């Protein structure tokens, strides 16, 4: 299957009417996402340096990936305040840490960390609640992490919040994502009352971009070239 064949079928899928879908094939059940792959994690008390104040302190609740090759993780997460409650746990903000120069003492040693300007949001999913609600609730957190990992498998998509890390230990799943400092678009609309049309178009365009990503269709490109494609 070459790229232009795929583009053409993406175009067909984007333009297809309900009747075309109905006439072309029989309905089916959704297909499954691949099972998510979890990395090993450790939760420690860590020595953290703050470069902007020059202070160093031992803090609790730092977690990071335990890599099988013994190398330091790209990010460690220092758990902060609760942002949101969820059915299976909560979402917390995290300060992203990195290993200080020469401060790595192996995944299970006392390493030395420093604060970065980066912030993360981590969804902490309590596995005992997952087991308790299995099949009783339509929202399945394992499906969410599977979908997120699937959508990130070829790198982050432009308008879907990416997954930086996915960990599991005996009690929790940790889904680590970038922190979005401006909050929900809902709040921005609410504060404005409503948007001027160019502002709404700006946000709506990004939402359509999601549809393209979710369906992997390079619409702007195809719209520019649609006459060529349709001839």
Partner 1 sequence: MNGVCHRDISLENILVDESTKALVIDLGMCIRIPYNSRSGIPEEVVDVSMGTLRKLIYPQGQCGKPNYISPEILANIEPFDGFAVDIWAAAIVLFIMLVGLPPFELASHDDPRFRLISRGGLHQLIEQWQRPISPDAIDLLQNMLNENPRDRLSLFQVMDHPWCRAV
Which of the residues 192 through 221 are near partner 1 (CB under 8 A)? 193-195, 197, 199-208, 210-217, 219
Could you say whether residue 117 binds partner 1 (CB under 8 A)?
A: no
Q: Any contact of residue 106 with partner 1 (CB under 8 A)?
A: no
What token pair was written down for 145?
């992490």
Q: Which is nearer to partner 1, 99 or 175 (CB)?
A: 175
For partner 1, give the closer residue by CB, 51 or 183: 183
Cβ closest to partner 1, residue 102 vs residue 231:
231
Tell which residue, 101, 126, 113, has the closest CA to residue 77. Answer: 113
Q: How many Å from the N-terminal Cα to the C-terminal Cα in the chain?
A: 20
Interaction of residue 32 with partner 1, rule CB under 8 A = yes
- Compute how many residues bind partner 1; rule: CB under 8 A: 78
Least gap, CB of 219 to partner 1 (angstroms): 5
| List 122, 141, 168, 176, residue binding partner 1 (CB under 8 A) | 141
Contact 162, 156 (CB under 8 A): yes
Least CB distance to partner 1 at residue 153 (A) = 9
- Tokens for 54? 């020059």
Q: What is the DSSP letter of 73?
A: P
Q: Does 24 bind partner 1 (CB under 8 A)?
A: yes
CA-nearest of 174, 47, 181 to 117 is 181
Q: Which of 118, 126, 140, 169 binds partner 1 (CB under 8 A)?
A: 140
Asked if residue 70 lies in contact with residue 106, where contact means CB atoms within 8 angstroms, the answer is: yes
How far is residue 188's CA from residue 222's CA, in Å, rounded to a whole number?
32
Q: Which is nearer to partner 1, 44 or 145 (CB)?
A: 145
Q: How far is the CB of 52 from partner 1 (least distance, A)?
A: 18
Q: Does 9 bind partner 1 (CB under 8 A)?
A: yes
Q: How far apart are CA 156 and CA 201, in angstroms?
A: 23
Structure tokens at 104: 């790595």
């Amino acid at each position: 299957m070459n790229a232009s064949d795929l583009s053409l079928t993406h175009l067909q899928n984007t333009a297809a009417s309900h009747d075309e879908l109905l006439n072309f094939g029989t309905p089916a059940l959704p297909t499954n996402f691949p099972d998510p792959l979890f990395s090993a994690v450790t939760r420690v008390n860590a020595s953290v340096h703050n470069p902007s104040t020059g202070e160093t302190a031992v803090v609790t609740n730092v977690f990071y990936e335990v890599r099988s090759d013994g190398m330091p993780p790209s990010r460690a997460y220092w758990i902060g305040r609760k942002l949101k409650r969820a059915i299976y746990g909560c979402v917390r903000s995290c300060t992203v840490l990195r290993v200080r120069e020469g401060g790595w003492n192996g995944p299970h040693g006392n390493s030395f960390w420093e604060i970065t300007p980066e912030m993360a949001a981590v969804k902490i999913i309590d596995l005992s609640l997952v087991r308790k609600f299995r099949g009783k609730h339509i929202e399945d957190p394992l499906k969410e992490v599977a979908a997120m990992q699937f959508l990130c498998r070829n790198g982050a998509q432009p308008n879907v919040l990416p997954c930086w890390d996915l960990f599991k230990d005996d009690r929790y799943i940790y889904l680590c994502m970038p922190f979005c400092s401006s909050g929900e678009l809902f709040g921005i609309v609410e504060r404005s009352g409503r948007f001027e049309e160019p502002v709404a178009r700006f946000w709506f365009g990004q939402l359509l971009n999601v549809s393209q990503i979710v369906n992997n269709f390079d619409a702007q490109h195809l719209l520019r070239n649609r006459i060529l494609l349709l001839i």
